[in-house]
Amino acid sequence: MILSIASGKGGTGKTTVAVNMALSLKDVQLLDCDVEEPNVHLLLPHETNEEKPVYVSTPQVNEELCDHCGKCSEFCEFNALFVTPEKVLFFPELCHSCGGCLLVCPKNAITEKNVQIGVVKKGAAEGMELVYGELNVGEPMSIPVIREVKKQIRSNKTVIIDSPPGASCPVIESVHGSDYCLLVSEPTPFGLHDLRIMVKILEALGIPFGVVINRAGIGDRKIYDFCEEKGVPILFEIPFQREIAELYSRGIPFVVDMPEWKRTFQLLMDDIKGCMES
């Protein structure tokens, strides 16, 4: 079972839900796919037992073989190569590592070299397996790191994936292939606006989903109306409580201090399984 957690809007409580849920269930593998700003590991005391660098392949031009015909630059859809009569200029931040320039070069003047853009770390925390990625600061593309994190999935476990905020490619990469997606939102106009976008994405991907409302009690009721109208199940509500916010600010998952919540998360998992069967 692969369960992903997403939101559209940032700061709605994805990581809070992911970590507290993981702490309430058995035999869990928890993956943090927010490789730009990973936070799951901050909330879980853990030991790192494996660190794997993440590389992307980038082209390297052998100027001795190159006759500056310009085919590589003509081919590159991302404008990462620019050929002058004297030299080939390469813009690594635009390269998608598709390998196409190697294929089209008639002189075999292009080879690939690996460049590290981030790291994937694995560890053990509270009886669960933790995997998270970190994109190097200044690197533009997070997708290859997310892919490496997801390669570690062990589908015989209950896999929980924490996704990045937003609604573009990194989110798709994170939720793609999951059996169910929990959308964490808050009852505010911003929360609803971004929830609508995520609903469209999950419908297009064909992933079943339900909503968790965090900070219930603030804002307005429009998110409830939207879910009712759309027939989207609201599976769970976390009330707005200063105690929860303060625990979070100190990096403490609230089920640690309020263990009565564990049962609620277990029931939530039962509900998700129920939703998937129906």
Partner 1 sequence: MEEDVSVTHGRHKGVYGKLKQITVLSGKGGTGKTIITASFAVLAHDVMIGDCDVDAPNLHMLLHPQIMKTQEFKGPKLAVIDRTKCTECGLCQNSCRFDAINGSLQIDPFSCEGCSVCVVVCPEEAISLQERISGYAFISKTKYGPMSHARLDPGEANSGKLVTLVRHNARQTAEEENHNLILIDGPPGISCPVIASVTGVDAGLVVTEPTLSGIHDLRRALELLNHFNVLPLVCVNKYDINRENTERIVKFCEKNKVEVAGKIPFDPIVTEAMVAGKTIVEHSPENMVSREIETTWKRVLSALVRE
Q: Cα 141 vs. chain centroid, distance in angstroms? A: 13
Three-state DSSP state, 68:
coil
Least gap, CB of 4 to partner 1 (angstroms)? 14
Interaction with partner 1 in 216-255: which residues (CB under 8 A)?
218-220, 245-246, 248-251
- Best CA proximity match to 87, nearest among 58, 66, 104: 66
**Nearest-approach distance from CB 243 to partner 1, in angstroms:** 12
Query: Token pair for residue 197?
Result: 């976008």
Query: Which of 45, 53, 99, 127 is the binder for partner 1 (CB under 8 A)?
Result: 99
Cβ–Cβ < 8 Å for 114, 105: no
How many whole angstroms separate alpha carbon 108 and alpha carbon 125?
Answer: 48
Smallest separation (angstroms) from partner 1 to the CB of 256: 14
| CA separation for the pair 145, 54 (Å, rounded) | 6
Q: Which of 1, 39, 241, 273 binds partner 1 (CB under 8 A)?
A: 39
Cβ 8 vs Cβ 168: under 8 Å: no
Coil vs helix vs strand at 89: strand
CB closer to partner 1 out of 57 and 266: 57
Please give the residues from 160 up to 219 whose contact with partner 1 meets the rule CB under 8 A: 164-172, 176, 188-190, 193-194, 197-198, 200-201, 204-205, 218-219
The residue with tokens 């109208």 is 229
Q: Which residues would be at the binding site for partner 1 (CB under 8 A)? A: 8-12, 15, 34, 36-37, 39, 42-43, 75, 77-78, 93, 96-100, 103-104, 135, 137-142, 164-172, 176, 188-190, 193-194, 197-198, 200-201, 204-205, 218-220, 245-246, 248-251
